[in-house]
Amino acid sequence: MKALRIDKEPHYQCQLVDVDEATFNTDLSTEGDVWVDVAYSSINYKDGLAITGKSPVVRKPTLIPGIDFVGQVCKSEHPRWQVGDAVILNGWGVGEVHSGGLAQQARVKGDWLIAKPAGITPKQAMAIGTAGYTAMLCVMALQTHGVRPDAGEILVTGASGGVGSVAVALLAQAGYRVVAATGKENEHAYLTQLGAAEIMPRQSLSEPGKPLQKERWAGVVDSVGSHTLANACASARYGAVVAACGLAQGMDFPATVAPFILRGVTLCGVDSVMAPLALREAAWGRLAESLATDWLEALTTVVPLAGAIDTATAILKGQVRGRVVVDVNA
């Protein structure tokens, strides 16, 4: 089968290779009780880090990258899954400590899989992918904490990226007034098409700011971290909710406690990797209900497996808009 293979020694490299059955089952961290014929995977920011080696995401000497995939079960030793079942995987350390979805077949633990919702095609499932699933978890976090469409404006940072694009579309579709922050002037029309009511420059958030700023946001979806997250919290309204899920600008959080103890702001950490099964199924169920083919098509690009390496480099340079689906059989 065709696969992307990362080898950390003698020097870090990722290349497209042919993998035989013995190597797949013994040398590539592919232990598990379910085998899946993969239809599509995708390129997320973490995949970019793994494929390029820009960050120590990969913690095995060799493995197949790809933190998500959709496909059909071709062999199962797990009681929940039968041959022919359509399944989705997101996270669980796949593509980091366990071989993942950027191959024509994956072998994983059955407990990591969820059933693909009937209303979503395989391609659409990866157009949503981990980024879209994470965006939905952020939207659910805001709503669980009582942020309704009439509460005020919602800020989405990193808005032209995978998480941001889907968050803009989901929030706008649900009736929220969305302000999209981006550093890409050429993406304003795209974000407006997804439903953003206003576009603001990334620079207004990405530099060091005051601990407390003019109140504006009723809610925030942040995939950027660092000064951007700190400024979003500092300008959040009393009782606002900030959902943080990424670190595109940095892992640091140069903030004070002022927004939290003086304005009652809630900072919600959103993790998609180890989220429990019930939460995953709820998020994917909501995505199936919210699926709008027009905006999903607008934010999706499809590349063959051989194109995933160049895409990984581009996503780290901020040159990728929306979602990139990988057709592993093309």
Sequential pLDDT tens for the chain (330 residues):
999 999 999 999 999 999 998 888 888 888 899 999 999 999 999 999 999 999 889 999 999 999 999 999 999 999 999 999 999 999 999 999 999 999 999 999 999 999 999 989 999 999 999 999 999 999 999 999 999 999 999 999 999 988 999 999 999 999 999 999 998 888 899 999 999 999 999 999 999 999 999 999 999 999 999 999 999 999 999 999 999 999 999 999 999 999 999 999 999 999 999 999 999 999 999 999 887 667 788 889 999 999 999 999 999 998 888 899 999 999
DSSP 94: B
Same domain for 148 and 214?
A: yes
Same domain for 101 and 146?
A: no
Query: Of 170, 162, 155, nearest to 205 (Cα)?
Result: 155
Rounded to two decimals, what is the model's pTM? 0.91
- Position 276 scores a pLDDT of 95
Residue for token pair 């080898």: 7
Which H or E run contains 276? Answer: none
Q: Is the CB of residue 102 less than 8 Å from the CB of residue 14?
A: no
Task: Look at residue 258 and tell me if it is in a domain.
Answer: yes
Cα distances from 259 to residues 41, 145, 206, 264, 266, in angstroms, run: 39, 17, 18, 7, 9
Same domain for 182 and 208?
A: yes
Which amino acid, one-letter code, is at 31? E
- Position 321 scores a pLDDT of 84
Task: Look at residue 233 and tell me if it is in a domain.
Answer: yes
Cα distances from 135 to residues 8, 138, 185, in angstroms, run: 31, 5, 23
For residue 144, what are the contacts with CB-CB under 8 A and spacing of at least 6?
A: none
Domain count, the chain: 2
- Position 298 scores a pLDDT of 82
In this structure, what are the phi and psi dihedrals at residue 260, rounded to the nearest 5 degrees? -85, -35
Task: Look at residue 274 and tell me if it is in a domain.
Answer: no
Same domain for 50 and 171?
A: no
Q: Is the CB of residue 125 less than 8 Å from the CB of residue 116?
A: yes
Buried b (16+ CB within 10 A) or exposed e, 145-162: eebeeebbbbbbbbbbbb
Q: Is the CB of residue 63 less than 8 Å from the CB of residue 26?
A: no
Query: Of 272, 268, 208, 219, nearest to 244 (Cα)?
Result: 268
- Position 176 scores a pLDDT of 98
- Position 62 scores a pLDDT of 94
- Position 100 scores a pLDDT of 96
Domain of 244, CATH number, reads 3.40.50.720
Same domain for 261 and 139?
A: yes
Same domain for 143 and 222?
A: yes
- Position 203 scores a pLDDT of 92
The dihedral region occupied by 288, where left means phi > 0, alpha psi between -120 and 50, and beta the remainder, is alpha
DSSP 148: -
- Position 26 scores a pLDDT of 83
- Position 324 scores a pLDDT of 95
Domain of 105, CATH number, reads 3.90.180.10
Task: Look at residue 291 and tell me if it is in a domain.
Answer: no
Same domain for 162 and 191?
A: yes
Question: How far is the C-alpha of 123 from the C-alpha of 38, rounded, in Å?
Answer: 11
Which residue segment(s) compose the domain that 102 sits in?
2-116+299-327
